[in-house]
Structure 1
């Protein structure tokens, strides 16, 4: 959709809604996705000349439905004719009743069915709700793209073969699906924070809806707090030229204090509940960062304690890597490098942050030649040009003439 900003904007905001409407009536993920993608392809061809329609979301849904009907008419099976009839009468179909009324949030809960493997639930929902490419989702999961593609294929086949219905979950079903839903919302937020602000805003909107829907779930509150505290730093994350500014170098006067106050209040609510979970602990880490007026007064000892707690509650290679960063500030880069080098290479080998962290530790240990190799690896694996530019700048700052 390059060169068609109107279509791109509608894609970012309405893709998930359009797919959810088509899936509800078709009961077929692939057909729904193909129909919506066809509709956007038609928009790319027609909107630049005709202009964006007054109701672009309605135009996309109607066009996608018509494309699906056309395809079904070319098929002769009875199920296809039934699906065609459902589509033709879709405008008059009564709305489903249930606790989840928002289209996108309902689709997330629907896809996070317990019959699917947890990783498959998250990957499939990111594909359907956010319209993220297989490559984008694979990067978020730290797995090769072909592996992720197979997960998506298997998830769709499982839904089709098991006859899993697309309907609003009952109240009793919501808690069992919550973990997958929270993971999806957070991954959408992260994708937006590193690239598309519209996805970030959508994740925050979904987080607020979840908090209203399930106010007694502390992990829901923790996730919303985490996203608010991270998003509060967005105004300082890039300089006037658009270059990335790392947290220690950010102008903290640019941070959104209103979002910080809201996020910190939510963290305090979580602490009073006494039921710590991964999102609550990560929110607490970011609350500590937001308390520091300058990078130099950051309470890294408290952050390390929180990462110790997070390691006990939800251990993972990424958590271990983040804990090593805190160890570097408390105990020194040598101790942190030992921890980083102890991580299983295959798990994070293609995670550019691992190489960037290792490069920084080697730089601080006055091992510039090794640091340069790690920066080069991080540059090759980084997912955005802004990240690559920052890493190239750090590489250029190394003094490696004598090595």
Structure 2
């Protein structure tokens, strides 16, 4: 007999599959989700004592379908439509599965569920919330806490998303071939955003939220399992693993530790090996995409024995490739750092000048923070101090703010230090951890 933690893990794995099967069959997302929750509760109560059924997924689907049919029958009866209810039950009745009528063992509708949750008709915040709720199995309070929003706000966001799915008749199916690339890109972006929010929380006192990064990796694994030949699905999973491998070294007593200041003995070697193998295989067998290139950049950092061993020429070449296939202001921002490491800080600052009017960076702290770092490398301490303070004023992350203010203070000390004392640690020793900020 399986232990309770094993059963909980199994139920979490099977829940999205059961929900997907019901949505495919009945179409009502909200009602199907409620029915699956009832089935999960029944399983959690019965399986520890009675044992896990031979076909646990089929058991969940059957119990949830019975619940849904029963609710609809009661609703029809309440409205005085017993005849219609009887007709519905006759057409839709579901039995506890036997060998002849179980769901096909190899059928998994999770991919279609992911595509539905990330449908372009839904706003991005709704896509993220619904994916975590329906596919990730997180509760509404858990999602609200992860994103630091009131529970009622998150609940409304999820309810509105379900209502929109129902009112617009969004199809429950994997997209047609001519839509597949764009729809898959939306799914990858949602998982990427979930991971990023966990890896560098956009607000609040904590730098990281391991619950979100862990969930994003789990979902990316599912996607890679369902689409093993998609290079970008493998690239995204590799990127997450190579980045998450550094998590334990990113903070010291709650304070942010930049990438090249981190104690590399605390990096997770198992994650690094898996992530590196994934991206190497994807680059050999699939068309190159932005997630694969970002993963390759992280792999270059991971393979360096120490900060001074980083192959910055290779990092720069990869950022140039990334800028050619997926140009964005933040890619350019990262490329400026790599240019500074290879060709000197002045060359990097010249590239940053091209971003001065970029609206997507104007309201944030990243441009000022990177400019401050390159100015410090170039020994322009007064300007660097001003830019560090500007960045600290605009970030909403408390650990980042504390780090930037500490750098501003250090630069101020450097300006008044006698010759040979203090001074900026130039070059590769103090790069701000901007990779995976795209």
- The TM-score with structure 1 as length reference comes to 0.69
Q: CA deviation at 1:153?
A: 11
1:183 aligns with 2:195: no
Equivalent residues in 2 for 1:319-334 (5 A)? 319-334=331-346
Q: Which residue of 2 aligns with 1:42?
A: none
Q: CA deviation at 1:199?
A: 1.2
Equivalent residues in 2 for 1:1-400 (5 A)? 24=23, 101=108, 106-113=112-119, 116=120, 120=122, 122-130=124-132, 159-166=165-172, 168-169=173-174, 177-194=183-200, 195-239=208-252, 241-273=253-285, 275-343=287-355, 344-399=357-412
Structure 2 CA distance for aligned equivalents of residues 90 and 201 of structure 1: 36
How many residue pairs get matched? 352
Q: Deviations over 1:26-58 (max 9, x none)?
A: 97789999x99xxxxxxxxxxxxxxxx999xx9
Seen in structure 2, the aligned counterparts of structure 1 residues 26 and 238 have a Cα distance that, compared at 3 Å, is farther
Secondary structure of 2:256's partner?
coil
Structure 2: which 5+ runs fail to align?
Answer: 1-11, 36-44, 48-59, 134-142, 150-156, 201-207, 417-438
Structure 2 CA distance for aligned equivalents of residues 345 and 135 of structure 1: 30
- Tell me, yes or no, if the aligned pair for 1:123 and 1:137 is still in contact at 8 Å: no
- Tell me, yes or no, if the aligned pair for 1:233 and 1:256 is still in contact at 8 Å: yes
Structure 1 CA distance for aligned equivalents of residues 46 and 352 of structure 2: 54
Secondary structure of 1:315's partner?
coil
Structure 1 CA distance for aligned equivalents of residues 243 and 103 of structure 2: 35
Structure 2 CA distance for aligned equivalents of residues 106 and 355 of structure 1: 42
Q: Which residue of 2 aligns with 1:9?
A: none
Structure 1 CA distance for aligned equivalents of residues 109 and 168 of structure 2: 26
Q: CA deviation at 1:159?
A: 4.0
Structure 1 CA distance for aligned equivalents of residues 26 and 315 of structure 2: 49
Structure with bigger gyration radius: 2
Seen in structure 2, the aligned counterparts of structure 1 residues 176 and 295 have a Cα distance that, compared at 3 Å, is same
Q: CA deviation at 1:256?
A: 1.1
Q: CA deviation at 1:347?
A: 1.5
- Tell me, yes or no, if the aligned pair for 1:99 and 1:170 is still in contact at 8 Å: no
Q: Deviations over 1:186-214 (max 9, x none)?
A: 11111121232111111111111112111
Structure 1: which 5+ runs fail to align?
Answer: 1-12, 37-52, 139-150
Q: CA deviation at 1:320?
A: 0.8
Seen in structure 2, the aligned counterparts of structure 1 residues 363 and 98 have a Cα distance that, compared at 3 Å, is farther
- Tell me, yes or no, if the aligned pair for 1:122 and 1:183 is still in contact at 8 Å: no
- The TM-score with structure 2 as length reference comes to 0.64
Q: Deviations over 1:85-143 (max 9, x none)?
A: 99xx999899987987376x654221233xx26xx5643221223365699599xxxxx
- Tell me, yes or no, if the aligned pair for 2:175 and 2:183 is still in contact at 8 Å: no
- Tell me, yes or no, if the aligned pair for 2:146 and 2:209 is still in contact at 8 Å: no
Seen in structure 2, the aligned counterparts of structure 1 residues 99 and 186 have a Cα distance that, compared at 3 Å, is farther
- Tell me, yes or no, if the aligned pair for 2:316 and 2:338 is still in contact at 8 Å: yes
Q: CA RMSD in A?
A: 4.8
Secondary structure of 1:216's partner?
coil
Which stretch shows the higher mean deviation, 198-207 or 362-371?
362-371
